């Protein structure tokens, strides 16, 4: 679920020749009334009609974050072959789970209820919408709508959360807690989110970065993750192999600072992800960076990458196509990698040249507070099982 | 696989600060329930909560820390300091990439968001204070702690609602077992806040003034607040520095009801599975469990579901069960972490803290409730239940060091199936 459209095909098609968000014509926003803002733009999931995917019933109390995530989960369960026409045809609810990142919860729901409480009376807040204020509400609804029962883990680590979700999922799968997990992240657009970044000055690029100014985005990127043997045994189409993960936190030098773009954290996260994958920097074909147009952060990340990789290494900025989707960001970067494995040419390249073939991708995320994470993905080696069903 | 020990605990609660004050008050059956002072409840129909009244951030935090934290982070940080001190760990021992911080919460810095929202609603975009924005986000809880203890490994929040503490402890232990960390600061925290308080009132879940789990005349839950943090260490790390483990982290079970966003599954299938998994992942059998710290919110649906779990897992053997929430209310995200600390202290002292306000047994809950006065008993193996919002279930096992068999990646029962 991204600004490129809904579903795997739409995403892969969109990644074939994506338009940089800043070059795209600005359209009227769909998620909130932005008429009071000057020339506003966000990367929305446009034309999203939840009823088309979920039916009319039971949608009224759900917020946008939940709807995005539930539809993503539904598409994921079908794409992975666990479900057909809404029914389990492989696996079982007790052995499928979800592990999903989100950074800011449902600001839409919280601000809506705050408005009622402040302007009317706290006694009038809608009890059916109150659950949406809780951070894990969206993935709780996913379990109900999709009948997923093995485990349900909500992850929050800002922009790094979606990559961390894969590290969590890896441990849960390795310890036999589930056979397959829907893993990734989701973030929904709201006026509160837009206003927060606007107030912070993050949306105006006074001094441009390698990409032009941040465009906030929204969406949900989920992947079904399972052990290689499990995927082979059930004849699943394998899109990628996750081979390494690294994370690091480096505090700012000043006690007074809170926001902290840490070059060192990125470098450590990347180095340990490569070590975890057992590969050298030269083995990486493309870095799906989290460069988004926030100059301080872009510089820290690119500096770190320059220390690890040779100058010619290809660094892409999928966020200049997909928007800064925060808690979903790492998942979007991984989805971009899957599109490249599928044959889409790496785009939005900010450093180096596009390689002839993409077999290994490093996805990076830099957090706002000194945190950073990285994941290594490999194109699956051709195996009979992976071709049989594709 | 390495064993994982708890070597330090720290707590901020409505009945006291620090492990001794907290557990003494629990064991004495003290109540932390009082009228709410943080916001005006006159209109809300309910006035009581387990509010922490004697917490002054500057007693525990530096001036710079106090400036950059909201109330939830401040409590978290204070409890983390206590836990690290209790573990006897100096910053030179926690600094570096082998220390991680994994915390739980439901709403995190809810008061910061409230301030932002209220300013926005009242005065429009211009009223929103820019400096306040970066202080919001549940992501921040582990960041503040990592800065204080020098942790440079994973910093993660698992917002698993009212089971968040158990999720964090379980995953923290997993990180150590997987060899990705030596020390993990785990736990959870939560504050009471107007919108959330009103929401629970609107869900008709809140009792007037007492939380009476398993009592026939129960009137619902009471919200509470606080922070519970624990230091987890690999056996090797703990042995190397010659520290005495307080308890061992056993296995845990997770499941999701996939039933209703706020109510537990009436047949408790998910929580039964989670309980069985907690026991199996510990390498134990149900007959080895000595005591169960209940989720025990004091709602009819919860009490019934938990009673079903006890009956299904333990059969006719009535394992003593008690709910700390009768004393401090439901501290939501923080609850299972604060209660984990109570479990650790039960293992240390052999004291089961009582369920206070337990007057009339509910025949539908055929349980051996530790009623009103503490009880002494065997406490080698203790379970900590959490059955949360969203259908999130997590059950955690804690044990006296030396009791559990060699840890296994996957339980025998599961490996065989």
Same domain, residue pair A27 and A91: yes
Q: Where are any strands of DSSP class E within B14-147? A: 16-17, 34-35, 48-49, 99-104
Is B330 among the catalytic positions?
yes
**pLDDT at residue B24 is higher than 60:** yes
The answer as to whether A151 is a domain residue is: yes
With contact defined as beta carbons under 8 Å apart, do A179 and A91 qualify?
yes
Phi-psi region of B223 (alpha: psi -120 to 50; beta: other; left: phi over 0): beta
Per residue in B55-92, pLDDT (tens digit) is 999 999 999 999 999 999 999 999 999 999 999 999 99
Same domain, residue pair A340 and A298: yes
Contact B147/A at CB under 8 A: yes
Positive or negative CA dihedral for B353, B48, B222, B10? negative
The answer as to whether A2 is a domain residue is: no
Burial class (CB in 10 A: 0-12, 13-18, 19+), A13: middle
Total of domains in chain A: 2
Is B162 among the catalytic positions?
yes
Of B60, B144, B237, B295, catalytic: B295
Same domain, residue pair A247 and A212: no
Expressed as residue numbers, the domain containing A254 is: 240-389
Contact across the interface for A249 and B143, Cβ inside 8 Å: yes
Tell me the shortest Cα–Cα distance from A72 to chain B, in angstroms.
17
The answer as to whether A184 is a domain residue is: yes
Contact A139/B at CB under 8 A: yes
Q: Give the residue from A294, A84, A94, A32 showing the smallest Cα distance to B273.
A: A94
Give CA–CA dist A360/A378, Å, rounded.
Answer: 5
Q: Give the residue from B75, B79, B73, B142 showing the smallest Cα distance to B113.
A: B73
With contact defined as beta carbons under 8 Å apart, do A315 and A291 qualify?
yes
With contact defined as beta carbons under 8 Å apart, do A247 and A216 qualify?
no
**pLDDT at residue B320 is higher than 60:** yes
**Angle between helix A107-115 and helix B110-123 axes, rounded to 10 deg:** 60
**Can you read off the two tokens belonging to residue B397?**
């096992």
Contact across the interface for A118 and B118, Cβ inside 8 Å: yes
Q: H helices then E strands: how many in chain A?
A: 13, 12
Residue A43: per-residue pLDDT: 95
Helix or strand or coil: residue A274? helix
**Can you read off the two tokens belonging to residue B151?**
């942790």
Contact B56/A at CB under 8 A: no
Same domain, residue pair A182 and A265: no
Measured between beta carbons, which residues in chain A are less than 8 angstroms from residue B264? none
Give CA–CA dist B339/B394, Å, rounded.
Answer: 13
The answer as to whether A197 is a domain residue is: yes
Contact B416/A at CB under 8 A: no
Measured between beta carbons, which residues in chain B are less than 8 angstroms from residue A148? 256, 258
Residue A382: per-residue pLDDT: 47
Distances (CA, A) of A368 to A323, A357, B134: 16, 33, 9
Residue A27: per-residue pLDDT: 87
Residue A203: per-residue pLDDT: 87
Same domain, residue pair A229 and A309: no
Same domain, residue pair A150 and A256: no
Look up tokens 């490569």; give the residue. Answer: A274
Domain with residue A166: its CATH number is 3.40.47.10
Give CA–CA dist B193/B331, Å, rounded.
Answer: 12
Q: Give the residue from B261, B343, B140 showing the smallest Cα distance to A132.
A: B261
Contact across the interface for A157 and B159, Cβ inside 8 Å: no
Mean pLDDT across B342-371: 98
Same domain, residue pair A225 and A126: yes
Contact B263/A at CB under 8 A: no
- At residue B412 the predicted structure's pLDDT band, cuts being 50, 70 and 90, is confident
Measured between beta carbons, which residues in chain A are less than 8 angstroms from residue B117? 110-111, 114, 192
Of B72, B144, B162, B343, catalytic: B162
**pLDDT at residue B300 is higher than 60:** yes
Of B72, B211, B330, B365, catalytic: B330
Contact B2/A at CB under 8 A: no
Same domain, residue pair A74 and A89: yes
Give CA–CA dist B401/A355, Å, rounded.
Answer: 55
Domain boundary among A207, A233, A259: A233
Contact across the interface for B114 and A114, Cβ inside 8 Å: yes
With contact defined as beta carbons under 8 Å apart, do B184 and B176 qualify?
yes
Distances (CA, A) of B361 to B50, B107, B292, B293, B311: 24, 34, 18, 18, 16
The answer as to whether A1 is a domain residue is: no
Bridge partners, residue B355, by sequence: B371
Same domain, residue pair A164 and A248: no
**How many contacts does A have with B, using Cβ atoms within 8 A?**
238
Give CA–CA dist A159/A175, Å, rounded.
Answer: 26
Give CA–CA dist A116/A387, Å, rounded.
Answer: 54
Candidate from B128, B130, B139 with C-beta closest to A156: B139
- At residue B157 the predicted structure's pLDDT band, cuts being 50, 70 and 90, is very high
With contact defined as beta carbons under 8 Å apart, do B241 and A111 qualify?
no
Give CA–CA dist A271/A268, Å, rounded.
Answer: 5
Contact across the interface for A369 and B143, Cβ inside 8 Å: yes
Mean pLDDT value across chain B: 96
Candidate from B97, B143, B389 with C-beta closest to A131: B389
Per residue in B244-255, pLDDT (tens digit) is 999 999 999 999
Domain boundary among A233, A262, A283: A233
Q: What is the pTM of this model?
A: 0.97
Same domain, residue pair A214 and A247: no
Domain boundary among A181, A215, A233: A233
Consecutive sets of 10 residues in chain A, 390 residues long: mean pLDDT of each?
A: 98 96 89 91 95 95 97 98 97 97 95 94 92 94 97 97 98 97 98 95 76 90 96 96 98 95 98 98 98 95 97 95 97 98 96 96 98 97 43
Contact A103/B at CB under 8 A: yes
Per residue in B98-131, pLDDT (tens digit) is 999 999 999 999 999 999 999 999 999 999 999 9
Distances (CA, A) of A185 to A37, A166, B265, B351: 28, 10, 27, 43
With contact defined as beta carbons under 8 Å apart, do A324 and A301 qualify?
no
The answer as to whether A354 is a domain residue is: yes
Tell me the shortest Cα–Cα distance from A198 to chain B, in angstroms.
10
The answer as to whether A3 is a domain residue is: no
Up-side HSE of residue B251: CA atoms within 13 Å toward CB?
A: 30
Helix or strand or coil: residue B250? strand
Chain A's closest residue to B173, CA to CA, is A171
Same domain, residue pair A274 and A382: yes
Same domain, residue pair A224 and A245: no
**Angle between helix B110-123 and helix B194-202 axes, rounded to 10 deg:** 90
Contact across the interface for A249 and B151, Cβ inside 8 Å: yes
The answer as to whether A163 is a domain residue is: yes
Contact B118/A at CB under 8 A: yes
């Amino acid at each position: 679920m991204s600004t490129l459209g809904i579903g795997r095909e739409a995403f892969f098609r969109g990644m074939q020749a994506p338009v940089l968000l800043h070059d795209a014509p600005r359209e009227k926003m769909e998620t909130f009334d932005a008429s009071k803002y000057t020339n506003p733009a966000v990367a929305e999931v446009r034309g999203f009609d939840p009823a088309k995917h979920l039916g009319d019933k039971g949608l009224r109390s759900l917020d946008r974050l939940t709807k995005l995530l539930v539809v993503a989960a539904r598409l994921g369960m079908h794409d992975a072959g666990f479900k057909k026409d809404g029914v389990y045809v492989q696996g079982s609810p007790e052995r499928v789970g979800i592990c999903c990142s989100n950074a800011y919860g449902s600001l839409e729901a919280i601000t809506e209820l705050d408005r009622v409480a402040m302007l009317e009376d706290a006694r009038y807040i809608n009890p059916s919408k109150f659950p949406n204020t809780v951070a894990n509400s969206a993935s709780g609804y996913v379990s109900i709508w999709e009948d997923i029962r093995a485990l349900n883990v909500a992850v929050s680590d800002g922009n790094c959360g979606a990559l961390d979700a894969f590290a969590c999922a890896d441990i849960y799968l390795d310890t036999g807690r589930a056979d397959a997990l829907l893993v990734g992240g989701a973030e929904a657009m709201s006026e509160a989110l837009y206003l927060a970044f606007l107030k912070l000055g993050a949306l105006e690029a006074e001094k441009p970065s390698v990409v032009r100014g941040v465009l906030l985005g929204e969406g949900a990127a989920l992947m079904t993750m399972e052990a290689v043997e499990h995927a082979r045994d059930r004849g699943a189409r394998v899109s990628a192999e996750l081979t390494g993960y690294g994370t690091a936190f480096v505090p700012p030098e000043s006690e007074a600072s809170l926001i902290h773009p840490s070059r060192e954290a990125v470098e450590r996260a990347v180095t340990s992800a490569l070590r975890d994958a057992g590969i050298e920097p030269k083995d990486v074909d493309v870095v799906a960076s989290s460069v988004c147009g926030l100059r301080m952060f872009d510089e820290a990340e690119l500096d770190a990458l320059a220390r690890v990789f040779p100058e010619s290494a290809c660094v892409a900025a999928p966020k200049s196509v997909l928007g800064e989707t925060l808690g979903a960001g790492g998942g979007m970067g991984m989805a971009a990698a899957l599109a490249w494995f599928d044959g889409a040419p790496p785009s939005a390249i900010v450093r180096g040249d596009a390689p002839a073939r993409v077999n290994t991708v490093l996805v990076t995320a830099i957090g706002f507070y000194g945190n950073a994470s990285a994941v290594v993905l490999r194109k699956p080696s051709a195996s009979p099982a992976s071709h049989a069903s594709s | 696989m390495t064993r994982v020990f708890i070597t330090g605990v720290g707590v901020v609660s409505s009945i006291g600060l620090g492990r001794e004050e907290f557990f003494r008050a629990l064991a004495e059956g003290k109540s932390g329930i009082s009228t709410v002072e943080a916001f005006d409840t006159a209109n809300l129909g309910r006035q009581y909560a387990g509010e922490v009244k004697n917490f002054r951030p500057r007693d525990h935090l530096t001036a710079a820390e106090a400036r950059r934290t909201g109330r939830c982070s401040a409590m978290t940080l204070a409890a983390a300091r206590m836990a690290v001190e209790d573990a006897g760990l100096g910053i030179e021992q926690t600094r570096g990439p082998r220390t991680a911080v994994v915390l739980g919460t439901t709403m995190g810095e809810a008061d910061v968001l409230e301030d932002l929202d209220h300013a926005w609603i009242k005065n429009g975009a211009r009223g929103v204070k820019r400096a306040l924005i970066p202080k919001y986000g549940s992501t921040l809880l582990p960041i503040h702690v990592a800065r204080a203890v020098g942790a440079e490994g994973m910093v993660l929040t698992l917002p698993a609602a009212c089971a968040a503490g158990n999720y964090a402890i379980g995953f923290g232990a997993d990180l150590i077992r997987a060899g990705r960390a030596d020390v993990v600061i785990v736990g959870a925290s939560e504050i009471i806040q107007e919108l959330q308080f009103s929401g629970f009132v609107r869900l008709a879940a809140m009792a007037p003034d007492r939380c009476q789990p398993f009592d026939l005349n129960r009137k619902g839950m009471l919200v509470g607040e606080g922070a519970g943090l624990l230091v987890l260490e690999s056996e090797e790390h703990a042995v190397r520095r010659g520290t005495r483990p307080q308890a061992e982290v056993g296995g845990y079970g997770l499941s999701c009801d996939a039933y209703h966003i706020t109510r537990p599954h009436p047949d408790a299938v998910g929580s039964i599975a989670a309980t069985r998994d907690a026991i199996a992942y510990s390498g134990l059998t149900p007959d080895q469990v000595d005591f169960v710290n209940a989720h025990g919110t004091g709602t009819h649906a919860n009490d019934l579901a938990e009673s079903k779990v006890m009956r299904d897992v333990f059969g006719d053997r009535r394992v003593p069960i008690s709910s700390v929430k009768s004393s401090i209310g439901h501290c939501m995200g923080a609850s299972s972490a604060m209660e984990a600390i109570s479990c650790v202290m039960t293992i240390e002292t052999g004291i089961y803290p009582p369920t206070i306000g337990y007057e009339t047994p509910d025949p539908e809950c055929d349980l051996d409730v530790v009623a009103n006065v503490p009880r002494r008993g065997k406490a080698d193996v203790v379970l900590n239940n959490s059955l949360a919002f969203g259908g999130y279930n997590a059950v955690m096992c804690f044990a006296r060091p030396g009791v559990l068999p060699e840890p296994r990646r996957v339980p025998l029962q599961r490996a065989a199936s």
